[in-house]
Structure 1
Amino acid sequence: MNGVTSYFLVTCVLCCARGRPIIVEWERDARHSAGLSLVRESGTWANLPAREREQNITNLSHIGMLARFDNILGRDTIRTLVRLSAHASYVFCHPTLVERIASMLNYFLYNLVGPNKKNFKVKDMKEYEFDPASTVLDICRMYVELGNNERFCAAVSDDGRSYSPQLFTLAEAVLVRIGGGALIGSLQEVAARVARLAEERQRDEEIFANAPDEFLDPIMSTLMLDPVTLPSSRTTVDRTTIARHLLSDQSDPFNRSPLSMDQVQSNTELKERIRLWIIEQKQLHAQNNDNND
């Protein structure tokens, strides 16, 4: 894959991952549209003054138009991501992007198969270009395409907003109903990998709970694995943290000086100390477990 194509893929993924999930807009518009439709169908509008009735009809039409637009954009975004993930999964699993991609997929899937799915039950789905079954299938295909990558599975499990062990079980139940049974086996394999990594990361959090402050990223308060020093503020952060920050803000977060990724300086001495500390903590944990047994 040449450099131009790679740049195009990265740009597409960044545009899809950076913005507010379209499903947020759709959910808002769907709720308003459904509420206004119910009131209209109840006959209540017939008793309203003509001007107020006309205003409500105008509002319903406007919200319906927004819902249709947002849904088309969300659907096309997901379909674009599905195609890209099949041919360039490495882009989605890059440390800078993977958490955003995983949390976006989790959020979409949770809203479409979880308890919030009732919010999307509106009449005239074809009028709004809304096909939730097709969207669920596309999202599950992305999980399957990316599910062999351990970094992606770890990012799925790290998403505290939308992920839970029940997420994929809910998705499987929906797949059965919408004719997506062929995906269930592969999705179960992904779910198992995600659950295993979630357990491992929970264990690691307990092992590393008492990490020295100098080992922690000052923005995320997580253990740094690849510390780098920012040239202007001289602050040390994890490479992934500052890379994500620079996607949307090309400045040092500590003093607002202009900053690009090629200016950060690897802190190899601190990185080695952290590596040795991790090994030591894991050995101590293993010894404690052996003694308890």
Structure 2
Amino acid sequence: MIGQLRHSAIRNFKDKYGLAKAVIGVFCDCELVTDDEGFDSKFSYRMPFYTVLDGLWKIEEYKKEIVKLSVEALEEMAQQPLFLRFISLLIDDTNSMMGKSMETFQEIRTTELKTELTDEDKEKLDKLYRQAYSYVGLSQETLYLFGLLSQGCQPLFADPTLVTRIAEMANFFTNMLVGKNRKMLKVKDPKKINFRPIDMVKSLALLYVNMADFENWNKAVCADERAFSMGMIEEGGKILLNSRIPSAEVVGAKFNELTLVLQDYIDEEIDFEEEPPDEFCDPIMGSLMEDPVELPRSGAILCRNTIARQLLVTPIDPFNRQPLSLDEVIPRQDLKEKIKEWKREQREKYSKTSAQRPQAELEDAPMD
């Protein structure tokens, strides 16, 4: 009865936009927790918000308002809007919680592999299982939320400020859950920590499927040399198809279809035969810049994505610690054109080399 009354009150609340924005705002404010146990405390405070956001998303009127917030964020990127900060924190939460989960799994496995457990070992295991329960629960909630939000906030996810971070996060954890190292996630009593890897793979697969129409996303996924592989997509799809869970099977079938889409982007990726000049590389990330900008007071030049991520955390120039906002950075179109020209030249060299290979192979082949 109480639950029904609460649901009715939320559904009938007049300022749905204001309520959705307030919930997201408080979620972000949890980042300000500064007590001695701030790391775990802020996640404990945030935990109920995942349930609230899930509930709001399932009410169509609130879903529209949340999507509206994501659209507004796209229009106000230079001002570091609330919803952009929310997604950035969600990425950080996922990385932190999944990282903690993996560390705890490894400790549990190491302890359980002992031939004989002492009382101290048993006490340690009990503590580790409790920790794993919390970390895994939060990991599953954050991934689930990404799966939900990808059904309406795709343009924001595909924005250059976020797309690489989200794609690399998705690749890394998908690889971890379905790749050859997934055996590291096995413990003797997975039910004790409510570990549901199928649900996590399903949430990640939903993210990939919902983002598949965005070129920026597909490029970012395939450019991730650390974690991405086509085998990862195929294995994830197979796991979902074999899950005997109807909703997971549907997602698995769509996930498998991505191999055809992503193959085109893999074919586009080439290894440049020459190292790019230092002036073309981001000084923080070390990678080739796509959209170079100059910081007005320090004069440093780096990729727009890099400084945008930095400013989400701290609104200062990382090179001189002076206050800085994204709308102050100066586009370096001249340098951008030079980088484009260098890439074009490298592609031409690659094409010529590729064209010569078959002939060279024929010439080197042994005669019958």
TM-score per shorter chain, which class? 0.7 to 0.9
Q: Which runs of 5+ in 2 are unaligned?
A: 1-66, 74-80, 360-368
Task: Tell me which residue corresponds to 1:13.
Answer: 87
Pairing 1:195–2:263 present = yes
Q: Which amino acid aligns with 2:202?
A: L
Task: Tell me which residue corresponds to 2:156.
Answer: 91
Distance 1:288 1:184, change over 3 A: same
Quick check: 168-177 or 266-275, which moved more?
266-275
Q: Which amino acid aligns with 2:107?
A: H
Q: Which amino acid aligns with 2:91?
A: A
Query: Could you list the per-position Cα deviations for residues 67-92 of structure 1 after superposition, in whole angstroms to 9, with x for gaps in the alignment?
Result: 00001100111111111111111121
Query: Could you list the per-position Cα deviations for residues 146-184 of structure 1 after superposition, in whole angstroms to 9, with x for gaps in the alignment?
Result: 122111111111222221232112212312321333234
For 2:173, what is the secondary structure of its paired residue? Answer: helix
Distance 1:37 1:272, change over 3 A: closer
Which residue of 181, 187, 190 maps to 2:249? Answer: 181
Post-superposition offset of 1:215: 3.2
Q: Which amino acid aligns with 1:137?
A: K
Q: Percent identity?
A: 30
Query: Could you list the per-position Cα deviations for residues 84-127 of structure 1 after superposition, in whole angstroms to 9, with x for gaps in the alignment?
Result: 11111112111111111111111211111112221222233222
Query: Could you list the per-position Cα deviations for residues 47-75 of structure 1 after superposition, in whole angstroms to 9, with x for gaps in the alignment?
Result: x5xxxx2x333212211110000011001
Q: Which runs of 5+ in 1 are unaligned?
A: none
Quick check: 164-173 or 101-110, which moved more?
164-173
TM-score by length of 2: 0.67
Q: Which amino acid aligns with 1:24?
A: G
Post-superposition offset of 1:9: 3.9
5 Å matches for 1:18-167? Answer: 18-19=92-93, 20-37=95-112, 39=114, 44-45=116-117, 53=119, 55-167=120-232
Post-superposition offset of 1:243: 1.4
Distance 1:161 1:127, change over 3 A: same
Pairing 1:255–2:320 present = yes
**d(CA) in 2 for partners of 1:275, 1:95:** 17
Q: Which amino acid aligns with 1:124?
A: D
May I ask how many residue pairs the two structures share in their alignment? 280
Post-superposition offset of 1:253: 2.7
Task: Tell me which residue corresponds to 1:241.
Answer: 306
Quick check: 245-254 or 145-154, which moved more?
245-254
Distance 1:286 1:129, change over 3 A: closer
Q: Which amino acid aligns with 1:88?
A: C
**d(CA) in 2 for partners of 1:104, 1:211:** 26
Distance 1:169 1:30, change over 3 A: same
Q: Which amino acid aligns with 1:234?
A: G
Post-superposition offset of 1:230: 0.8
Distance 1:253 1:114, change over 3 A: same
**d(CA) in 1 for partners of 2:128, 2:342:** 56
**d(CA) in 2 for partners of 1:231, 1:21:** 33
For 2:296, what is the secondary structure of its paired residue? Answer: coil
Pairing 1:226–2:226 present = no
**d(CA) in 1 for partners of 2:266, 2:356:** 25
